[in-house]
């Protein structure tokens, strides 16, 4: 990562190297932080942030689920996101707002600690996600089960969820795969390590319900709406791993991954092992929407 540009820290845009926290920051010890990942795309009329309102709303929902008292309003964080992108003069980038329990009391309960907010952005290389665009990604079903809503709120995009996700991702990469697919404690498909999962069968599109333990992905929602508008039947359905093995196509969605084709799971080819026609169509439709080339969804873009 290039160590240049500005980072928004509690109201101030500070140089990259000065964006520091104390080693006794509560979140470093107890994972008491929530965050977002957004993308800014070079759209027709200039750079624009994709579904900013929904991402900011999810950040605040995540904070509320952990009783974190935000010191800013949602519109204030929205303005700060745009200020940060402008200050970094980037046409396209990944944006990372983070709300974390800061330095104050030490001990498990963070209720007296201030909730600090930072917003960073950087040029998105997409390296980790390159498998899955022109050729499909090779996935494995993780030996780690997805933690579930009986243990912690899965609809919070909280740092504490990502130990489980990182174990699954690292295991998949170590074993020569591109990504992990995680089952929940019931053995049903939950999601990828950082993406939602979809299957295509007989021309219809299916994804597990959120009760299976996946995050309420904003790309998931976008792709479901785009697919409906493109004429597909779209439904939520509980899926076992063999529903994926025997699907015509499998793809994953996420802010980082966008629409990522899955060619193989556990060494089993999905369909003919190539990027399928529905996946290819949705990759194109999503790229058009994100870059402002599709009037039907222009309200999803906030100009920088
Ligand atoms: C665990 C997990 N699931 C799904 C997603 C996809 O969510 P979104 O499309 O909002 O980026 C992400 C990425 O944010 C994630 O971390």
Handedness of CA 276, 281, 278, 141 (dihedral sign): positive
Q: How far apart are CA 206 and CA 224, in angstroms?
A: 9
Query: What are the tens digits of pLDDT across the range 196-249?
Result: 999 999 999 999 999 999 999 999 999 999 999 999 999 999 999 999 999 999
Number of H helices, E strands in the chain: 7, 17
Residues 133-159: pLDDT tens digits?
Answer: 678 999 999 999 999 999 999 999 999
Q: Which atom of ligand 1 is nearest to the CA of 58?
A: 10
List the residue whose alpha carbon is closest to atom 7 of ligand 1. 217
Tell me the pTM.
0.96
**Percent of the chain residues past pLDDT 90, beyond the cut:** 91
Residue nearest to atom 4 of ligand 1 (CA): 195
Which tens digits make up the pLDDT trace of 160-192?
999 999 999 999 999 999 999 999 999 999 999
Ligand 1 midpoint to CA 43 (Å): 22
Distance in angstroms (rounded) separating the CA atoms of residues 132 and 293: 23
- Cα of 70 vs centre of ligand 1, distance in Å, is 22
The residues assigned a catalytic role are 157
Residue 72 and residue 282: Cα distance in Å, rounded? 36
What is the pLDDT at residue 127?
67
All domains of the chain, ordered by start, with CATH?
A: 6-125 (3.30.470.10), 129-290 (3.20.10.10)
Which atom of ligand 1 is nearest the CA belonging to 196? 4
Higher pLDDT, 3 or 197: 197
User: Which tokens belong to 148?
Assistant: 């579930």
Q: What confidence tens digit (pLDDT) does each residue in 89-100 have?
A: 999 999 999 999
Instruction: Look at residue 4 and tell me whether its pLDDT is greater than 70.
Output: yes
For 14, 29, 36, 84, the CA distances from 94, given in Å and listed in that order, are 18, 26, 10, 11
Beta partners for residue 137, in sequence order:
262
- Choose between 106 and 86: higher pLDDT: 86
What is the pLDDT at residue 133?
66
- Ligand 1 centre distance from Cα of residue 106 (Å): 30
């Amino acid at each position: 990562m290039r160590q240049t540009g500005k980072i928004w820290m509690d109201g101030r845009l500070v140089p990259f190297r000065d964006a520091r926290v104390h080693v006794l920051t509560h979140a470093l010890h107890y994972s008491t932080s929530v965050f977002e990942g957004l993308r800014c795309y070079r759209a027709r009329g200039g750079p624009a942030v994709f579904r900013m309102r929904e991402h900011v709303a999810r950040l605040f929902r995540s904070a509320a689920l952990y009783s974190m008292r935000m010191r800013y309003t949602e519109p204030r964080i929205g303005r700060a996101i745009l200020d940060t992108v402008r200050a970094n003069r980037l046409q396209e980038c990944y944006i990372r707002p983070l709300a974390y329990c800061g330095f104050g009391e030490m001990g498990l309960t963070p209720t007296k600690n201030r909730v600090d907010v930072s917003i960073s952005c950087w040029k998105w290389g997409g390296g980790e996600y390159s498998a899955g665009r022109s050729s499909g990604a090779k996935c494995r079903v993780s030996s780690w089960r997805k933690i579930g809503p009986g243990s912690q709120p899965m609809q919070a995009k909280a740092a504490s969820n990502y130990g489980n996700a990182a174990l699954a991702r690292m295991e998949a990469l170590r074993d020569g795969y591109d990504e992990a697919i995680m089952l929940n404690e019931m053995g049903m498909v939950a999601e990828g390590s950082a993406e939602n999962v979809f299957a295509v069968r007989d021309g219809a599109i299916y994804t597990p319900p959120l009760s299976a333990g996946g995050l309420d992905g904003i790309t998931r929602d976008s792709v479901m709406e785009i697919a409906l508008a493109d004429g597909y039947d779209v439904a939520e359905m509980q899926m076992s791993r063999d529903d994926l093995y025997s699907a015509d196509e499998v793809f994953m969605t996420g802010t980082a991954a966008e629409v990522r084709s899955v060619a193989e799971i556990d060494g089993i080819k999905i369909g003919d092992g190539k990027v399928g026609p529905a996946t290819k169509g949705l990759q194109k439709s999503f790229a058009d929407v994100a870059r402002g080339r599709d009037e039907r969804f222009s309200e999803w873009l906030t100009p920088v």
